[in-house]
């Protein structure tokens, strides 16, 4: 899933301080699952913002709406009925959602309430870790299911580097060395020989080096 | 025993009789409950408040009474007495005689018209109030009908005419009937001593001398003065009141109807009356209690005494005044008494004096005992043994409450449940219990109705009405949104008010109800039942706790209390508007029982349940059964504890339905009533095993207090009473070598660290002293004590010890005895209060009454594993100190023996039987109701994020095949953690829905309300 | 501000603090009327949203009172509540309200005295902090 975190309140307040009526839009997908922008966080932020306004002797009216998915135009359409009563929109989705709303309502200021972080997985309740960079050319089949692109601080393809100590990365003892994990995993699979294979210099063109990417499924295109 | 009948006759409808009848009925037995009075309730209904909670008694009792009136299995017969008995256990044939009531119970609506017209005809002495010839003993009476004293009526025709319901039968006659019963339980209670025969206390001629019960009536809101404290001579408020303890009890001259035993409850009730008085009038009134020994040895009672003295300023004077003098002009009363160690008399004048009178077995009860052919003791109480505390000498006849020995309400309730267990042990359940649902009216569908809230504000006598203006509060509530009607309800829990509320619900088409009254903890179920019977779903109710959390705590600031009551009512109204009808969930009941602790209590509970055909797991931490009782040799009445315990262990081990697991430590626990799973580790290899059970009985006992005070463990002559008990039995030659024996009481009890009394030490010391004197009559024994607390008939042993020359000397905690080593000998120095000087005794044996204390470590662990509450001194805390002394606050958990509080073997056995009896009430049901407070998932909102799955402490939620979280309502415990953490707000906890809490928060701040 | 009477909302667990409050009642232990109790089945049910709502509505202080460490009737609802109270403190901080206005307390059902005593302490603390700044702005 795409993970995100709420922006500092100060920043959000800076964005919306000129306005009196906003729509606060949550998203029931990834950001709900990572507890950043679901119905609950919408409620909390709404209360907090209203209080911050009240403290300054101002009032803020907040229309709380949580969409099934902000990154689909059909869902965004649900906002149409409410948009005229709002001076601005504050989105609690990832960057995709914010942009989708901004596209739909070109006349309205749209602000992000979250910092979109990474594509990741839940480690345990309340803990998420980065797992994928979306490089467009997956090599997990070579690396025992552990991604050196996303999980090696240097993104090196034939690791580990000299900074790997006791299975940890030199940038922090809290960060696992991806290549150590890859080695352990290959060992468990009995595929130590794979480790010997040199991964050639990665072709980064499928990644964003070729500019913004697009997928077209011709069989689905109308 | 040949069983012909499973019916059980309960004689006496006081608190004990009601409890025993309810337990029996819930456990599936048919009960005939007879009382010589017109309605049930007994003595308790005349009390204003009860110790140590100072609750209003009617408020706590009346829910039980009406429960009793409602139960299908209980046939209630007022004005009825037993005339004759034949047969034997299992098939008694009894003749019952019912006196004419002169009122048709089916027709009487209890409107009170007859009572209004014929007031003040008869005086009702014990309660000081006026009793009309048509009389209901108290406002919440069950059955809810009047009765008539036809002889006192001057105009019978007029009386008959008054009754609109045509219920008066002037020619009503006595009815006689014969019924067959399997067992009989005596719960006849006792009368209170009438002190009018004592001329030294005025002989009944001093108007301002009243008995404890009369004082209760004066203080009671339903009493003759409507709760205004005024003295009888001039209706003025007294400024100085004294209590004289032991009036008619603990007497050495028994010629004037006085008795030698201790009535056991008077110390506590005098303290309570004094506290309640101080509470109401603070510094405007002075209260003094004259006592001999302050016998506050019940659970946390010592703390109550300390509060009376230290917080309320009740003065305690250790003295037994000889007489009361009355000033003929002012009717003031004076007492002369010597003060501690001072032989000069001091005289004090009082406006009012309360005589703390105790219990007496009335003549008619004595005749009943003769009819039944049961043995009684010399004081006319029923004879029982320490090992069978509720069994009379005649098989099939059982006893509970005061008729067994003087005791307070919790002990009576314990014995009542014990008697229910023992009386039904050999009687099979003959028919199935009817399902309660069948009897209820259909639920009205309120979903499409416009919200119509009914608000009912209780005054609860002075409890609420004495602090705030309930009429104003009701008026205020009437103006709030969606409120259709708002009114004052008096005692909302009384039968009258209940009926009224039900009729208003129907007439006004109400669909949400707010009660402003006491705590929902105690009365929610009651009021839920009321509205359910009026056709509403029981969850359409909100109780504003304006008593326990308002008027009781803010009584010194009525303005603040009123404002807060308004806040709480607003919150409740806003909250109830959001309440929705909910279904209860039912689960099958696992009928196995886990008993934790294999001492005398645990084994008795296990055996009583096994005899009833239930499988019991008896888990004991030690390698062997027996506990502390296994170390005791004799009881005070000389019974052989060792052979009893050996027999008990043999029976337990040989009982097929009991699986004894020794060397076992409880390590984990989960589930709820009817479906618990408890994990144990079993020594020596500590292998792990899980036990499935439906009920848990905690009988983990207590520990002898460990101390090194007074050279214990440092000098061989210093031993504990428990060790002395063994020495007397096993080494009489050692006893023969002693000349002087000193005993010190309250070692490790009633101290700063352990403020409570260990209850058994006084009787143990006296027991050991008397046994020593039997071996060597010329030995000198000193018992250094703070109070001698020989309750009930143990007082006779105290007296015997004094007669045999045992010297009792009092010490104060700030002036403890000093023990010094003098070579092989010991010297004990103490200050004699009467001589006023130090006395030094060289002791051959110093026996310390070290008492018992909770096993703090063990109860702490167990409390944590089972989520049980404990008292500050580490004992398990029962659900209600007064009315539910065996049940714990976690449903399905019961407590017995010294794990509850210090007690004797006799008391432990009674509570073990009671725990078994209470367990039977649960085990009678095949299904258990787990309530409606469960989490529900809105599948449309659910993002299947797994947060609930991970957060649930019981692993109940899962993501189902459709891809959203599913929570099984039958397994959900209702904590609401998932609801509070769900990031999609897809989960709601029923009864505590977010919109309901949110509405309450808005209501509190008047948002959307004003 | 001399006679400022704070309004304090106390979310109390049915099994401990709510019972302790009743216990304070039966012991007639007086405590400030400022404290208004909202009953919850477990402090684990207390939602940060409701804590914020109380402040937004005008509460000067909020506390969540649960069972003693390890005594939770539902295993660990109280520790979860304690973490949420910390989260609520952070949020208050971010919008410029004193984080001391919200607290987590632990007590057992038998602690009537502790209930009364903490009610005093919290009321005094909030009194010293002064009114909820939101209310102040509202009035002016």
B646 vs B218, more confident: B646
Q: How many CB atoms lie within 10 A of CB B99?
A: 16
Each residue of B744-763: pLDDT tens digit?
A: 999 999 998 888 999 999 99
Q: Is B950 on the interface with A (CB under 8 A)?
A: yes
Q: Does residue B795 register a pLDDT over 50?
A: yes
On whether residue C94 sits in a domain, the answer given is yes
What pLDDT score does B433 carry? 44
Q: Does residue B438 register a pLDDT over 80?
A: no
Residues in CB range of B132: below 8 A, 6 or more apart = B114, B115, B118, B119, B120, B121, B122
On whether residue C1 sits in a domain, the answer given is no
Using DSSP, state whether B825 is helix, strand or coil. strand
Using DSSP, state whether B209 is helix, strand or coil. strand
Q: Which domain holds residue C48?
A: 8-133
**Range 95-134 of A in CB contact (< 8 A) with B:** 122, 124-125
Each residue of B603-660: pLDDT tens digit?
A: 999 999 999 889 999 999 999 999 999 999 999 999 999 999 999 999 999 999 999 9
d(CA B596, CA B915): 12
Q: How many CB atoms lie within 10 A of CB B55?
A: 24
Q: Is A11 on the interface with C (CB under 8 A)?
A: no
What pLDDT score does B428 carry? 67
Provide the strand spans (E) within B773-892: 780-785, 807-810, 818-822, 825-832, 837-843, 845-848, 852-854, 878-880, 884-888
Q: What is the mean pLDDT of residues B31-60?
A: 66
Q: Cβ A55–C56 below 8 Å, yes or no?
A: no
How far CA B533 is from CA of B441, B458, B524, in Å, comes to: 6, 20, 14
Do B842 and B740 meet the contact criterion of CB atoms below 8 Å apart?
yes
Superfamily of domain B593-701+855-923: FAD/NAD(P)-binding domain (3.50.50.60)
On whether residue C101 sits in a domain, the answer given is yes
- In a mutagenesis test of the B interface, which of C18, C45, C58, C119 is the best target, namely the one with the most B β-carbons within 10 Å? C45
Q: In CATH, what number does B934-989 get?
A: 3.30.70.20
Q: Cβ A39–B983 below 8 Å, yes or no?
A: yes
d(CA B35, CA B94): 15
Q: Does residue B128 register a pLDDT over 50?
A: no
From the number of C-beta atoms within 10 Å of its C-beta (0-12, 13-18, 19+), residue C73 rates as: buried
Fold of B192-360: FAD/NAD(P)-binding domain (3.50.50)
B132 vs B387, more confident: B387
Residue B139: pLDDT band (50, 70, 90) is: very low
Q: In CATH, what number does B704-853 get?
A: 3.50.50.60
Do B892 and B553 meet the contact criterion of CB atoms below 8 Å apart?
no
B157 vs B554, more confident: B554
Q: Does residue B123 register a pLDDT over 70?
A: no
Task: Give chain C's domain count.
Answer: 1
CATH number at residue C124: 3.40.50
Task: Please provide the size of chain A in residues.
Answer: 222
Q: What is the mean pLDDT of residues A10-35?
A: 96
Q: What is the mean pLDDT of residues B366-378?
A: 95
On whether residue C25 sits in a domain, the answer given is yes
Residue B170: pLDDT band (50, 70, 90) is: confident
Do B29 and B73 meet the contact criterion of CB atoms below 8 Å apart?
yes
Residue A27: closest C-alpha in chain B = B984
- In a mutagenesis test of the A interface, which of B940, B945, B980, B998 is the best target, namely the one with the most A β-carbons within 10 Å? B945
Each residue of B882-907: pLDDT tens digit?
A: 888 999 988 899 999 999 999 999 99
What pLDDT score does A18 carry? 96
Query: Hey, what are B244's tokens?
Result: 């004289």
Q: What is the mean pLDDT of residues B701-728?
A: 93
What pLDDT score does B117 carry? 66
Q: Is B945 on the interface with A (CB under 8 A)?
A: yes
Q: Among B152-161, B505-514, B542-551, B952-961, which is the least confidently predicted range?
A: B152-161
User: From the list A38, A40, A125, which residue is nearest B950 (CB)?
Assistant: A125
Each residue of B185-204: pLDDT tens digit?
A: 999 999 999 898 888 898 88
Shortest distance between the Cα of B940 and any Cα of chain A, in A, equals 10
Q: How many CB atoms lie within 10 A of CB B901?
A: 29
- What are the structural domains of chain A? 2-118 (3.40.50.2300), 133-205 (no CATH)
Q: Cβ C50–B998 below 8 Å, yes or no?
A: yes
Indicate if B593-701+855-923 has the same CATH topology as B444-580: no
Write the DSSP symbol of residue A168. Answer: B
Residues in CB range of B211: below 8 A, 6 or more apart = B192, B194, B195, B354, B355, B356, B357
Query: What ipTM does the predicted assembly reach?
Result: 0.97
- Domain residue ranges in chain B: 1-99+174-190+361-437, 100-172, 192-360, 444-580, 593-701+855-923, 704-853, 934-989
Rg of chain C (C-alpha set):
14
CATH 3.30.1390.10 fits B1-99+174-190+361-437, yes or no: no
d(CA B717, CA B732): 15
Interface of C with A (CB under 8 A): 48-49, 52-53, 55-56, 91, 94-97, 133-134, 137-138, 140
Q: What is the mean pLDDT of residues B351-366?
A: 94
Interface size between A and C, measured as CB pairs under 8 A: 44
- In a mutagenesis test of the A interface, which of B940, B946, B947, B979 is the best target, namely the one with the most A β-carbons within 10 Å? B947
Each residue of A183-214: pLDDT tens digit?
A: 999 999 999 988 888 988 888 888 888 789 99
d(CA B615, CA B606): 9
What pLDDT score does B672 carry? 81
Q: Is B587 on the interface with A (CB under 8 A)?
A: no
Fold of B444-580: Rossmann fold (3.40.50)
Following CA atoms C79, C80, C83, C89 in sequence, which dihedral angle do they give, to the nearest 10 degrees? Answer: -110
Q: Does residue C77 register a pLDDT over 90?
A: yes
Each residue of A114-129: pLDDT tens digit?
A: 999 999 999 999 999 9
Angle between helix B266-281 and B301-310 (nearest 10): 40
Residue B437: pLDDT band (50, 70, 90) is: very low
Each residue of B72-97: pLDDT tens digit?
A: 688 888 889 999 999 998 889 999 99
């Amino acid at each position: 899933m795409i993970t995100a975190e709420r922006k500092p309140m100060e920043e959000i307040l800076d964005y919306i301080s000129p306005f009196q009526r906003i729509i606060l839009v949550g998203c029931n997908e990834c950001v709900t699952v990572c507890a950043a922008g679901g119905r609950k966080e919408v409620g909390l932020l709404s209360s907090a913002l209203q209080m911050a306004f009240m403290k300054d002797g101002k009032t803020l009216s907040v229309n709380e709406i949580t969409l099934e998915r902000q990154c689909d135009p059909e869902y965004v359409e649900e906002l149409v009925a409410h948009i005229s009563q709002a001076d601005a929109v504050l989105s609690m989705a990832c960057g995709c959602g914010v942009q989708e709303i901004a596209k739909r309502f070109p006349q309205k200021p749209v602000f992000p309430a979250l910092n979109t972080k990474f594509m990741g997985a839940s480690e345990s309740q309340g803990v998420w870790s980065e797992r994928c960079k979306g490089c467009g050319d997956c090599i997990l089949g070579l690396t025992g299911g552990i991604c050196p692109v996303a999980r090696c601080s240097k993104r090196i393809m034939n690791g580990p580097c000299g900074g790997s100590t006791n299975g940890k990365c030199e940038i922090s003892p809290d960060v696992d060395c991806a290549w150590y994990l890859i080695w352990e995993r290959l060992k468990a699979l009995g595929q130590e020989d794979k480790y010997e294979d040199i991964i050639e210099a990665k072709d980064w063109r499928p990644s964003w080096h070729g500019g913004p990417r697009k997928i077209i499924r011709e069989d689905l295109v109308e | 025993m040949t069983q012909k009948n499973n019916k059980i006759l309960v004689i006496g409808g006081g608190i004990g009789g009601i409890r025993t009848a309810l337990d029996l009925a819930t456990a599936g037995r048919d009960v005939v409950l007879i009382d010589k009075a017109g309605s049930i309730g007994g003595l308790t209904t005349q009390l204003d408040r009860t110790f140590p909670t100072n609750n209003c008694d009617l408020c706590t009792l009346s829910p039980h009474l009406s429960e009793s009136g409602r139960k299908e299995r209980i046939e209630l017969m007022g004005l009825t007495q037993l005339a004759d008995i034949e047969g034997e256990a299992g098939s008694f044939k009894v003749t019952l005689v019912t006196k004419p009531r002169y009122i048709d119970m089916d027709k009487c609506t209890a409107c009170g018209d007859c009572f209004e017209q014929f007031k003040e005809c008869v005086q009702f002495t014990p309660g000081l109030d006026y009793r009309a010839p048509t009389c209901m003993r108290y406002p919440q009476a069950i059955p809810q009908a009047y009765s008539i004293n036809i002889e006192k009526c001057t105009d019978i025709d007029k009386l008959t005419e008054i009754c609109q319901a045509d219920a008066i039968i002037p020619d009503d006659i006595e009815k006689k009937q014969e019924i067959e019963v399997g067992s009989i339980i005596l719960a006849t209670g006792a009368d209170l001593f009438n002190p009018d025969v004592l001329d030294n206390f005025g002989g009944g001629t001093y108007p301002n001398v009243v008995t404890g019960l009369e004082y209760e009536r004066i203080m009671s809101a339903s009493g003759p003065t409507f709760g205004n404290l005024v003295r009888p001579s001039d209706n003025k408020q007294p400024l100085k009141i004294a209590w004289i303890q032991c009036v008619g009890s603990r007497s050495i001259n028994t010629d004037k109807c006085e008795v030698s035993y201790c009535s056991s409850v008077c110390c506590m009730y005098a303290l309570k009356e004094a506290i309640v008085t101080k509470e109401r009038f603070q510094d405007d009134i002075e209260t003094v209690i004259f006592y001999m020994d302050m016998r506050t040895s019940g659970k946390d009672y010592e703390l109550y005494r300390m509060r009376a003295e230290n917080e309320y300023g009740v003065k305690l004077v250790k003295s037994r005044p000889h007489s009361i003098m009355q000033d003929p002009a002012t009717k003031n009363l004076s007492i002369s008494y010597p003060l501690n160690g001072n032989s000069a008399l001091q005289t004090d004048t009082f406006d009012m004096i309360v005589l703390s009178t105790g219990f007496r077995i009335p003549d008619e009860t004595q005749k009943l005992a003769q009819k039944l052919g049961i043995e009684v003791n010399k004081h006319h109480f029923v004879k029982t043994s320490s090992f069978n505390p509720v069994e009379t000498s005649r098989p099939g006849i059982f006893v509970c409450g005061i008729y067994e020995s003087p005791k307070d309400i919790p002990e009576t309730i314990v014995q009542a449940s014990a008697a229910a267990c023992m009386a039904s042990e050999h009687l099979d359940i003959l028919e199935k219990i009817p399902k309660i649902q069948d009897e209820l009216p259909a639920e009205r569908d309120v979903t499409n109705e416009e919200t119509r809230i009914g608000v009912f504000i209780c005054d609860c006598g002075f409890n609420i009405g004495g602090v705030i203006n309930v009429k104003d509060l009701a008026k205020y509530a009437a103006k709030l949104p969606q409120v259709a009607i708002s009114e004052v309800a008096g005692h909302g829990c009384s039968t009258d008010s209940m009926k009224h509320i039900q009729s208003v619900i129907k007439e006004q088409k109400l669909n949400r109800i707010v009660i402003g009254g006491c705590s929902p903890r105690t009365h929610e179920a009651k009021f839920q039942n009321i509205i359910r019977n009026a056709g509403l779903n029981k969850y359409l109710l909100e109780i504003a706790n304006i008593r326990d959390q308002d008027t009781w705590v803010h009584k010194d600031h009525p303005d603040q209390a009123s404002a807060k009551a308004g806040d709480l009512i607003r919150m409740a109204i806003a909250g109830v508007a959001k309440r929705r009808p909910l279904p209860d969930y039912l689960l099958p009941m696992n009928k196995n029982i886990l008993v934790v602790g294999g001492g005398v209590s645990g084994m008795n509970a296990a055996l009583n349940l096994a005899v009833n055909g239930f499988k019991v797991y008896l888990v004991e931490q030690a390698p062997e059964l027996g506990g502390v009782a296994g170390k005791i040799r004799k009881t005070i009445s000389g019974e052989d504890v060792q052979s009893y315990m050996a027999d008990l262990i043999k029976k337990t081990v040989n009982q097929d339905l009991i699986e004894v697991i020794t060397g076992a430590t409880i390590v984990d626990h989960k589930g709820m009533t009817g479906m618990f799973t408890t994990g144990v580790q079993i020594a020596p290899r500590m292998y792990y095993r899980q036990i499935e059970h439906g009920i848990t009985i905690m009988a983990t006992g207590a520990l002898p207090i460990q101390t090194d005070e007074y050279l214990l463990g440092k000098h061989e002559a210093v031993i504990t009473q428990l060790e002395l008990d063994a020495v007397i039995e096993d080494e009489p030659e050692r006893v023969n070598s002693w000349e002087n024996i000193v005993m010190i009481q309250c070692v490790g009890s009633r101290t700063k660290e352990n403020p409570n009394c260990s209850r058994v030490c006084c009787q143990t010391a006296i027991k050991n002293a008397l046994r020593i004197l039997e071996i060597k009559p010329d030995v000198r024994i000193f018992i250094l004590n703070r109070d001698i607390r020989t309750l009930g008939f143990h007082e006779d042993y105290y007296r015997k010890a004094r007669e045999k020359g045992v010297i009792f000397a009092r010490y104060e905690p700030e002036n403890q005895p000093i023990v010094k080593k003098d070579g092989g000998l010991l010297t004990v120095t103490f200050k004699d209060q009467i001589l006023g000087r130090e006395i030094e005794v060289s002791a051959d044996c110093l026996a310390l009454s070290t008492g018992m204390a909770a096993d703090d470590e063990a109860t702490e662990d167990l409390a944590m594993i089972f989520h049980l509450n404990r008292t500050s001194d580490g004992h398990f805390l029962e659900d209600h100190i007064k009315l539910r002394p065996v049940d714990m606050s976690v449903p399905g958990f019961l407590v017995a023996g010294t794990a509850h509080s210090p007690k004797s073997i006799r008391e432990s056995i009674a509570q073990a039987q009671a725990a078994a009896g209470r367990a039977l009430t649960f085990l009678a049901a095949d299904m258990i109701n787990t309530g409606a407070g469960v989490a529900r998932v809105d599948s449309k909102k659910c993002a299947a994020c797994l947060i609930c799955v991970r957060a649930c402490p019981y692993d109940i939620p899962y993501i189902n095949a459709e891809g959203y979280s599913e929570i099984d309502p039958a397994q959900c415990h209702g904590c609401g953690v998932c609801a509070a953490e769900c990031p999609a707000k897809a989960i709601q906890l029923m009864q505590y829905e977010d919109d309901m809490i949110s509405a309450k928060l808005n209501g509190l701040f008047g948002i959307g309300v004003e | 501000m001399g006679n400022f009477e704070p309004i304090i909302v106390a979310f109390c667990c049915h099994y401990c603090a709510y019972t302790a409050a009743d216990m304070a009642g039966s012991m007639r232990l007086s405590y400030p009327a400022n404290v208004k109790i909202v009953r919850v089945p477990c402090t684990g049910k207390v939602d940060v949203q409701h804590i914020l709502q109380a402040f937004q509505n005008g509460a000067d202080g909020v506390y969540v009172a649960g069972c003693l460490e390890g005594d939770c009737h539902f295993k660990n609802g109280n520790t979860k509540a304690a973490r949420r109270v910390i989260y609520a403190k952070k949020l208050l901080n971010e919008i410029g309200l004193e984080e001391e206005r919200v607290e987590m307390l632990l007590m057992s059902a038998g602690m009537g005295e502790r209930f009364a005593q903490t009610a005093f302490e919290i009321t005094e603390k909030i009194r010293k902090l002064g009114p909820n700044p939101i209310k102040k702005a509202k009035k002016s």
